[in-house]
Amino acid sequence: MRIILKQEKKLYVLENPVPNAPAKDVEEEVRNEHQRHVNDDEQAAYVMLASMSPELQRQHENMDAHTMIMHLKELFEWTNKTKRYENSKELLCCKMIKGSSVNTHVLKMIGYIEKLG
C-alpha cells in the first residue's frame, strides 16, 4: 500500500511530457524541478516496462513514460473499438430461428447487450 501511495505522487509524468531542459542561466529551483521530472519519468518508465511482456518492452524501451502511456492507449483503444464493432454486429445480425425457443433467443440477445455495456 505504501509503494502505491509513493507512486501516486508521480502520476503527473503520465499526463505531462518531460519539458525541455531549462537554460543554464535560470534559477536553480527551476533546474531542480526539471531534474525531478526527468527522474520521476525514468522511474515510471522502468516500472511500466517491468510490467510488460517482452514484445511490448521492445516496442517501448526508448520512450519516456508519457509517450509510452499515450502509445499504449492508442494500441488498446483500437482493440476495444474493434471488439465493440464485432459485438454490435453480432447483436444486429442475431435473428430468431423458426421453431426455436423465444426464451433462448432473448437470453442470447441480453448476452450481446451486456457485452456492449
Query: What does the buried/exposed string (b/e) look like for 29-64 if buried means 16 or more CB atoms within 10 Å of the residue's CB?
Result: eeeeebeebeebbeebbeebbeeeeeebeeebeebb
pLDDT in tens, the chain (117 residues): 444 546 667 788 888 888 888 888 888 888 888 899 898 888 888 888 888 889 988 988 899 988 998 888 888 777 777 788 888 888 888 888 888 889 988 898 888 888 877
Give the other-Cβ count within 10 Å of 24's Cβ.
Answer: 6
Q: Are residues 109 and 91 in contact, defined by beta-carbon separation less than 8 angstroms?
A: yes
Is residue 9 classed as helix, strand or coil in its secondary structure?
A: coil
**Which residue reads 499504449 in cell numbers?**
72
